[in-house]
């Protein structure tokens, strides 16, 4: 699954050729479910690779709620 997230997925185009596409929402959902089902959590720290993920997702237009807002919603 890591390879799909890093490099994309190979699909077959309508003309029969193969092409690489970025990971889909379904791919990310499968990873999220795996992590959630296995009780895996992550906490962002200064030197954590998680910072790269947060930066990448922010560049793609995703917005994150502050941790305090999440606690209040629960």
CA-CA distance, 28 to 65, in Å (whole number)? 19
On the question of pLDDT at 74 being above 90, the answer is no
Task: Tell me how far apart the 2 most distant CA atoms of the chain are, in Å.
Answer: 51
User: What secondary structure does DSSP assign to 23-65, as a single string?
Assistant: PPHHHHHHHHHHHHHTT------TT-THHHHHHHHHHTT----
What average pLDDT does the structure give for the chain? Answer: 79
Residue 72 has pLDDT above 60, yes or no: no
pLDDT score, position 19: 92
């Amino acid at each position: 699954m890591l390879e799909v997230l890093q490099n994309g997925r190979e699909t077959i185009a309508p003309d029969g050729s193969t092409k690489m596409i970025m990971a889909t929402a379904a791919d990310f959902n499968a990873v999220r479910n795996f992590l959630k089902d296995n009780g895996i959590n992550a906490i962002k720290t200064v030197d954590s690779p998680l910072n790269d993920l947060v930066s990448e997702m922010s560049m793609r237009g995703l917005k994150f709620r502050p941790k305090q807002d999440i606690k209040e919603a629960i």
